[in-house]
Structure 1
Amino acid sequence: MTKRALISISDKAGIVEFAQELKKLGWDIISTGGTKVVLDNAGVDTIAIDDVTGFPEMMDGRVKTLHPNIHGGLLARRDLDSHLQAAKDNKIELIDLVVVNLYPFKETILKPDVTYADAVENIDIGGPSMLRSAAKNHASVTVVVDPADYAVVLDELAANGETSYETRQRLAAKVFRHTAAYDALIAAYFTAQVGESKPEKLTLTYDLKQPMRYGENPQQDADFYQKALPTEYSIASAKQLNGKELSFNNIRDADAAIRIIRDFKDRPTVVALKHMNPCGIGQADDIETAWDYAYESDPVSIFGGIVVLNREVDAATAEKMHGVFLEIIIAPSYTDEALAILTNKRKICVFLPCHLTLKRLAKWKQSTQAWLVDFLCKTKMWSKKVQLTGKW
């Protein structure tokens, strides 16, 4: 019996080559909408989805795969005669491979001019349904949500005529992580739209940004995950311009320094920090003088530390920092001359693309099997409002 694959994707990267190899292995391919157009134009023979369902795609593509002929073909257990008989009685042909990736909801809501209607229209319904059906029946069905897995699937099909159970189970796990994260983003978007500050459920999703060489100590494993929508002024949203890969402790220190400088946006300010403790803060009418003040606060402790600035780094400031051993320099921008000076000494330079803000930020503390959430104080404490008790 000829095996059948269903391909319906938004990210077309690598799909033509994948489909061509499937055809060489004797597979039939069912496809939808834009995916079918791409494959047909590349000379890959495909079966239209409406030839399988008996219904045309309708409602601007909202309804095309939500049909028993699709989900019956995905969910039928091959080890149960009753399932196979039900498929036969209802003229449902089995589907052995599903390749689906979802409407770009995240990319859509990140657009500065996105409308609510655009966001809603980019909520995929049929895609997650097919992925979940195939993943549930991974004992028999191979499901692919990530183009990075095309090669391993093709290799196993070419070598053995089918994928291994271990591969199908691994791909199913990836699908459930993917759809859970997708739904979490949608939930977060709608929660923000209605202004709900204390939802009864928190749906958090984070992406692996970087495996760490080690954790807080050399004997510990560690990884760096970033919020799926890292829109805040943070180390997770920054771009590294130069230097070696950031370490676990680099990231902790950088985060602490950025949290401090968030409170100083009106005047040029420099914060120096080492081992999670500030060792100097300077503020002036220009960034070079602010650096001088921060450095002079403690010229010993700043050695090997992190510096964050809230203004562009110019050549004069870079020359002064060039003479001090610093692990990381963080700034909203650098002049070409400044970057040339700093990178010549292989300092780690980081670019923070977001503007400073006093937006209400959540602070998370982990307890056993739980999270405590509070919000950073927005009130600035100036010296004239602070009363010292005791002798200093």
Structure 2
Amino acid sequence: MLTNGAVKAAAAQARAYKMSDASGLYLYVTPTGTKSWRLKYRWQGREKLLVIGRFPEISLAQARAHREEAKAKIRQGVDPSSISEKLETFEQVARAWYRHNENSWSPAHAADVLASLQRDIFPAIGARPIASIEPPELLEVLRLVEDRGRIETARRQRQRLSAIFGYGIARGLTDKDPALHVGRAMSTARPVRPQPALTSADECRELLGAADREPGRAATRLASRFLALTAVRLEAVRGMRWDEIEDLDGAEPLWRVPPARMKLKRSKKDDPRFAHAVPLSRQAVAVLREAAREFGYDAQRPQADDLVFPGRDRSRPIGESAIGALYERAGFAGRHVPHGWRSSFSTILNETLGPDAASDIDRALAHSPKDKVEAAYNRAELLGRRRALFDRWGELLDPMIF
């Protein structure tokens, strides 16, 4: 039988797998790390499957209680799967939409979607019957988001609202999408401009020092420094887990970013061949060791699902806007954003190392080769040359680590 510890420690693998409890109940773990409770049972001589719900929303004890309820229904001559889910309120439909889509999202994106609904939408209209909601109500909710200065966030929320109503229409729960035309009355998004990024090593060091001196959570400061040193996309760092790191105390430490958190086509996100290898400089290793001390990670008794940079709720990553807000407080608003580290890495190293390094720099950033034949046949990771790049980058950002 399962234990709470075993359920929490269950980590994503290249393929989905099951962890059995008893009497047909098991935990199903997807390659993206989503965990859900399922019950295998027989009805009229046929094997059937009942999806109970997602962990940690449903605990081990609650899943066992659902199993017993389902078994009782079977003894009463009722198929548990025939009892349709009652969906009436906006929140009920939104959560059903979320469960329907979460397996196709990365864990970090799924957490962001749910958190944004819980923060901005559910308190205002969550309890309302979905079929009764009108466009002016949605516009009022979205304007509250705009009033916080989050124009792009409000735009994304409108898109999610429209997707939820579309899901409700498909399920026969409503006959209209009141979010469809709300965008016409919302604030106009600012023109898309290149994201600001620092272009000299001196400025980069100045930012990192200022950010380190700012009060706030250690996880945000450490994640900021690690993001700078690895030049990956923000989502890769936010969702980073300890079991993705290889040879931390050895001569060639490496971080393999799972394809689920890379900017890839969905068909590649479950294929471990497309994991992105990031050699870790001495400076990056130093950040990881400090994070291990700060958050009590024990390599001798690892919890494979432990986040390297956890949020206030240790089971969730730091917030999507936490590092950006840190840079604003440090006095770099409009000068540098988290995604800007990729531009800084490319600009500074290309200027420092010259044109011969351009191809290696692109590969270090996980950019696809322009030559499609090369992309198909040249799968050499060239880790030695890539490691030299990150070592040089680490020395430029933090020469005091040696």
- Report the TM-score when normalising by structure 1: 0.24
More helix by share: 2
- Whose RCO is larger (CA < 8 A, sep 6+)? 2
Q: Which has the higher strand share?
A: 1
What's the TM-score once normalised by structure 2's chain length? 0.23
